Amino acid sequence: MLIEASKRTQVIATTHSPDLVSALSDQPEAVVVCQNIGHGTVMQRVDPDRLSHWLGKYRLGEIWRIGEIGGNP
């Protein structure tokens, strides 16, 4: 539903759900990872090229859960 809605308007959702993140495995660049680093928050878009070897075998939520894309799984 989020992907369908994003065709009509900007959608911003926060989650701690690997299943929801996995639903975006075909569009990893749509995911922005927020991470508390020191005294502030860093926001970084997922780089599909950097994860291409992972995405061939795993869903994005699994990659997040093992710590490859940052954030706090």
Determine, yes or no, domain membership for 72: no
Residue 71 lies in a domain: no
CA distance 3 to 58: 20
Residue 15 lies in a domain: yes
User: Domain for residue 70, yes or no?
Assistant: no
Domain contains 73 = no
Tell me, yes or no, whether 13 lies in a domain.
Answer: yes
pLDDT tens by residue, the chain, 73 residues:
888 898 999 999 999 899 999 999 999 999 999 988 888 989 999 999 999 999 999 999 999 999 888 876 5
Q: Tell me, what amino acid is at 24? A: L
Report yes or no on 25 lying in a domain: yes
How much is the pTM? Answer: 0.79
